[in-house]
Structure 1
């Protein structure tokens, strides 16, 4: 429990400089952004411009993320609904991670899905479209 006596900014432990500030987001009040995929909206929680991103994705029933290959590990936590691919399915509270090189199509079940996705590098899509990079967001 904090004692409330420390003044911000706190000093770093590994360098003689102030600790960088945390970034807090009011996610419920952030607008949903349309994506290039029909029936899929997102809220960008973090993006560094190189393809590393944390996205909240809202998928309508049956919405599909088309054939793509992961160039680095991808992590997905299901908050609501049903999230599937050819290898399996996740329900609320379940988690799936995919290694670099994993190639698949993913889609939402009949009730749709809300998922939190963490991407380290941009995916490569079979149709050539760009997604999950800051310069090509959506």
Structure 2
């Protein structure tokens, strides 16, 4: 389609209504947000009322995600550094997923870590802290 040309809204396949628009983010220019966890910052890429969250997380060397339980599947891809828990470790380019009910402590290696994490619902933390995107 030529630059500047307007495309008519596409209709959904399963309903007689317009297709919702895509959301594009300029992630490199988004500010890092502080979290309730020392040494961990995030960029919230996607959230919805169900608790679904896609987060880009920056962990300083040795930063800890304290004891928590996953209430639904969690997926993490390591973009940079070293991300560990009691069960194993992921280096740059590696991926880990955890099923609902998995309970663990996670931390960044000595060089820190940048990770992309996808959660279907907020985690429950042993110390009562709220999840990164949960209000309250």
With the shorter chain as reference, the TM-score category is over 0.9
CA distance in 2, matches of 1:37, 1:134: 13
State the match for 1:125 in structure 2.
125
User: What is the Cα deviation at residue 91 of structure 1?
Assistant: 0.7
2:87 aligned with 1:98: no
State the match for 1:60 in structure 2.
60
CA distance in 2, matches of 1:70, 1:13: 34
User: What is the Cα deviation at residue 6 of structure 1?
Assistant: 8.5
- TM-score (norm. length: structure 1): 0.91
CA distance in 2, matches of 1:134, 1:45: 14
Instruction: Render the CA deviation track for 1:82-133: whole Å, top value 9, x for unaligned.
Output: 0000000001111000001100000000000000000011111110110133
Contact 1:59 1:112 in 2 (8 A): yes
CA distance in 1, matches of 2:92, 2:58: 13
Contact 2:77 2:96 in 1 (8 A): yes
State the match for 1:36 in structure 2.
36
Gaps of 5+ in 1: none
- TM-score (norm. length: structure 2): 0.93
Gaps of 5+ in 2: none
User: What is the Cα deviation at residue 10 of structure 1?
Assistant: 1.1
SS class of match (2:45): strand
Report how many aligned residue pairs link the two structures.
Answer: 134
